[in-house]
Amino acid sequence: MNDDIDRELPMEIADALRDREETLAVAESCTGGLIGAAITAVPGASDYFDSGLTTYAYDAKRRHLGVSREALDEHGAVSEPVAREMTRGVRDVADVTWGIATTGVAGPTGGTEENPVGTVYIGVSYAGPWGSESSFASVSRYVFDGDRADVRAKTVDRALEDLLEALETRDA
């Protein structure tokens, strides 16, 4: 695992999910499986971690997560609508409590004026009990500095921080 990735965050998430008896699945594009690797570095991750999907290509996002052709075509893979569909898709396809999704431009090429290199969208979704109307999906946009490895490591940490914040908010 990349030494730049915070090792405490996965442990905090492990404790939080275990305490709640909730589960997690991740859909990764720019991070290529690094979030799943960080989560499963914690012994006993099988208690709460269901699956990780690396959906790098447009077709993989459609096929495995149900991301709509319209969202991809109109907004591109690196966009808020696609991150939202990815996080909802992985949560619902895996039938878990929580979903995380990442899509971005890790670099060194591929950036645009709208989404320069380092732009990442991170989605977090929650499946509330049926009838509670408490389910949600939120997406945040970040722009990270550094080379490809830096952007990917910062994305992993931020995604885990976003999930932890969402878990803590659910308790409030």
92-121: pLDDT as tens digits: 999 999 999 999 999 999 999 999 999 999
Q: Is 19 left (phi over 0), alpha (psi -120 to 50) or beta?
A: alpha
Domain ranges of the chain: 8-171
Q: Is the pTM of this model over 0.75?
A: yes
Residue 4: pLDDT over 60: no
CA distances from 11 to 38, 80, 158 (A): 9, 28, 15
Query: What fold is seen in the domain 8-171?
Result: Maf protein (3.90.950)
| Chain segment 129-167, per-residue pLDDT in tens | 999 999 999 999 999 999 999 999 999 999 999 999 999
